[in-house]
Amino acid sequence: MSVGVHAVTTTDFPRWDQELLFKILDNIHDVVLVIDSHTTIVYVNKAYATILGVPVEKVLGRRLDKIEPDAAAIKVLRTGTARNGADHLKSLDIDVVGSTFPLYKGKHIIGCISTFKNVTEELELNRELQQTKGVADYLKEQLEQWEQLPLSFKEYVGQNRNVKETLILAAKVARTDSTVLIRGESGVGKEVLARAVHKASRRKDKPLIKVNCAAIPESLIESELFGYEEGAYTGAKKGGKLGKFELAHGGTIFLDEIGDMSLTMQAKLLRVLQEREFERVGGSVVVKVDIRVIAATNRDLETMIVEGTFRRDLYYRLNIVPLALTPLRERKDDLMALTKTFLDQFSREVGQELSLSPQVIKLFQHYDWPGNIRELQNVLEHASIVCSGSSIEIQHLPANIIPTNNQTINVKDKTYDLKEIVARVERELILSALASNNNNRTKTMKVLGISRRAFYDKLRRYGIEE
């Protein structure tokens, strides 16, 4: 006999009593929760305790609006409309998915029933999966972009992760006419990068004109940049002279050491960057130019702005696409590739296949390279001239990079503070003199040629154990 839309009775199921129904509900894997019209929890199945980790006795008879005021069941009770979907249970800090629908007696809502499952772990896994997928996509994209880099960027020796990112961004910006600001310590390859950007741009067949803003005297910089008309000042050339901006017309102007420009010149430069026009010194005709600007600096422009030595508006004009180059000491993974490039070059020049001895390789790895790639290049050039055979040994290197007593004296963190460097050298020397004299202090101070008092003063100052 049918007892409802979805159930019948048989000899085994003569009656659909409460006990049987509760048994069924307890075997459901999803949580089943029933509240009355006052939001009192009147029923929860076993899954409630197993899934949510809360004993059934702790919730039965309690008001849901006190435990979980934002629960979907409360909204359903208020609106009478069923809800499906995801929810976050604040009281337990878990994510659930399920459905809630109202229970009616006649026209009145007498409560509602919620069935849901805990999907916190699934969501977490999904989030992790999405993230892993995102990272994989990012790396794939980076690899593809790296493979598609224009040739000019491939000439830039560097496989370090930061350098690659910079090169990929540089290749992207090269396709546009945007202003580029290259940041990085001296000798890190800012000019090489500026040339690569120009060569990869649509302006590659037009000139790249470099202006070293630090090298031009203040009195000449305006005429250097903007040119002058005949008779502009005593000594001016007949017929006047074109400035760097005009020479760069159609191409790129590379403003190196931009942080060393005076405030007056900064103001004039700002106008050109904004208007792409200027007047020659001593002239009144407005000259219009079509140029892409690449600026570079090793200065801390942000601090200079605070100190009032660099114009904030110029900074914003320049800092449209900043490209940062990592110092060599932070990209030691590129050291050997760079070394090989320069060794190949100098081998050709001296007509001899050059290589580094294992000691030199070790020293290179430990050295800080304050002068970056330029310093590496110079050291190898020096060594290639000094060494008579094919193997470059420690004694072929310039004295300043050779460590004293196997201790490299590093110039770290861009510090050129003489006192600090001297103190470091002094400390190293005292330690090494102590070691070679079996820690005999009287002998050590003799070897160092200093008085007992001075010796002990230094031990204290440098924290060498008494």
Ligand X SMILES: Nc1ncnc2c1ncn2[C@@H]1O[C@H](COP(=O)(O)OP(=O)(O)OP(=O)(O)O)[C@@H](O)[C@H]1O
Q: How far apart are CA 263 and CA 281, in angstroms?
A: 18
The single-letter DSSP state of residue 403 is P
What 3-state class would DSSP assign to 307?
A: helix
Residue of this chain nearest to ligand X (CB atom)? 189
What 3-state class would DSSP assign to 296?
A: strand
Question: Counting contacts by CB under 6 A, is residue 373 touching ligand X?
Answer: yes
Query: In the complex with ligand X, which residue's Cβ is closer, 115 or 297?
Result: 297
Query: In the complex with ligand X, which residue's Cβ is closer, 252 or 377?
Result: 377
Using CA atoms, how far residue 247 sits from 209, 286, 290, 310, 464, in Å, is 7, 15, 11, 26, 61
Q: Which of 98, 102, 111, 187 binds ligand X (CB under 6 A)?
A: 187
Can you spell out the DSSP letters for 176-213? Answer: S---EEEE--TTSSHHHHHHHHHHTSTTTTS-EEEEET
> Which residues fall within 8 angstroms of residue 342, CB to CB, at 6 or more apart?
376, 377, 380, 381
Minimum gap (Å) between residue 189 Cβ and ligand X: 3
Find the binding residues for ligand X in span 274-303 (CB under 6 A): 298
Which span sits near ligand X by CB under 6 A: 45-53, 167-175, 182-190, 276-284? 182-190
Question: Counting contacts by CB under 6 A, is residue 371 touching ligand X?
Answer: no
Minimum gap (Å) between residue 134 Cβ and ligand X: 30
Task: Tell me the per-residue interface mask from 391 to 430 with ligand X, x by CB under 6 A, - otherwise.
Answer: ----------------------------------------
Q: How far apart are CA 131 and CA 218, in angstroms?
A: 53
Where in 331-375 does DSSP place strands (E)?
355-356
Q: Which of 68, 191, 224, 229 binds ligand X (CB under 6 A)?
A: 191
Q: Which of 99, 319, 341, 345 binds ligand X (CB under 6 A)?
A: 341
Question: Counting contacts by CB under 6 A, is residue 188 touching ligand X?
Answer: yes
Query: In the complex with ligand X, which residue's Cβ is closer, 187 or 243?
Result: 187
Element (H, E) at 100: strand 94-105
Q: How far apart are CA 387 and CA 385, in angstroms?
A: 6
Q: How many residues line the site for ligand X (CB under 6 A)? A: 17
Q: Which of 160, 162, 186, 347 binds ligand X (CB under 6 A)?
A: 186
Nearest to 118 by CA among 143, 141, 138, 92: 92
Q: Which of 89, 94, 96, 190 binds ligand X (CB under 6 A)?
A: 190
Element (H, E) at 263: helix 263-275
Find the binding residues for ligand X in span 142-171 (CB under 6 A): 156-158
Which span sits near ligand X by CB under 6 A: 33-41, 127-135, 203-211, 369-377? 369-377
Query: In the complex with ligand X, which residue's Cβ is closer, 49 or 169?
Result: 169
Question: Counting contacts by CB under 6 A, is residue 199 touching ligand X?
Answer: no
Query: In the complex with ligand X, which residue's Cβ is closer, 152 or 223?
Result: 152
- In single-letter form, the type of residue at position 215 comes to A
For residue 67 the two structure tokens come to: 């435990």
Which residues lie near ligand X (CB under 6 A)?
A: 156-158, 184, 186-192, 256, 298, 341, 373-374, 377
